[in-house]
A and B are shown apart, each in its own frame.
Chain A
Amino acid sequence: MATLRDIKRRINSIKSTAKITRAMKMVSAAKLRRAQEKMFALRPYSDKISEVLSALARPSDEETHPLLKVRPRETVEVLILSSDKGLCGAFNSNVIRAGVKLIERLKKEGFQVSVSVIGRKARDYFRRRGIKMRQVWTGLSGKITYSSAQEVAQELMESYINETFDELYLVYNEFKTVVAQRVREVRLLPIGEIEKDESVDMKDFLFEPSEQEVFNRLLPKSIEILVYRAMLESQASEEAARMTAMENATKNAEEMIDRLTLEFNKARQASITKELMDIVGGAEALKE
Chain B
Amino acid sequence: MAEKLTLEVVTPYGSVLSEEVNEVVAPGSEGEFGVLPGHVPFVTTLKIGILTYKQNGSVRYVFVNSGYAEVYEDRVLILADSAERAEDIDVERAKAAMKRAEERLKKQENIDFARAQASLQRALTRLQAAEKIGKR
Residues of A within 8 A of B (CB): 38, 41-42, 44-46, 48-49, 52, 146-147, 150, 202, 204-209, 211, 213-214, 217-218, 225, 228
Task: For the complex formed, measure the closest distance between the CB of B14 and the CB atoms of chain A, giving whole angstroms.
Answer: 4
Residue in B13, B28, B29, B43 whose beta carbon sits within 8 Å of that of A146 in the complex: B13
Is A208 within 8 A of B28, CB to CB?
Answer: yes
Is B82 within 8 A of A147, CB to CB?
Answer: yes
Residues of B within 8 A of A218 (CB): 45, 68
Residue in A38, A48, A146, A207 whose beta carbon sits within 8 Å of that of B79 in the complex: A48
Is B45 within 8 A of A146, CB to CB?
Answer: no
- B 118-129 binary contact with A (CB < 8 Å = 1; else 0): 000000000000
Given A52-B68, A147-B82: A206 and B45 interface contact (C-beta under 8 Å): no
Residues of A within 8 A of B81 (CB): 146-147, 150
**What are some 25 contacts across the A-B interface (CB < 8 A)?**
A38-B13, A41-B12, A41-B14, A42-B13, A45-B11, A45-B12, A46-B12, A48-B79, A49-B68, A52-B70, A150-B81, A205-B42, A207-B43, A207-B44, A208-B29, A208-B30, A208-B33, A208-B44, A209-B29, A211-B43, A213-B45, A214-B43, A217-B45, A218-B45, A218-B68
Residues of B within 8 A of A225 (CB): 12
Say yes or no: is B77 at the interface (Cβ < 8 Å to chain A). yes
Say yes or no: is B10 at the interface (Cβ < 8 Å to chain A). yes
Task: For the complex formed, measure the closest distance between the CB of B97 and the CB atoms of chain A, giving whole angstroms.
Answer: 11
Residues of B within 8 A of A (CB): 10-15, 28-30, 33, 40-45, 68, 70, 77, 79, 81-82
Is A208 within 8 A of B43, CB to CB?
Answer: yes
Residues of A within 8 A of B30 (CB): 208-209
Task: For the complex formed, measure the closest distance between the CB of B32 and the CB atoms of chain A, giving whole angstroms.
Answer: 11
Best-buried of A202, A206, A208, A214 by chain B (most CB within 10 Å): A208
Best-buried of A147, A225, A228 by chain B (most CB within 10 Å): A147
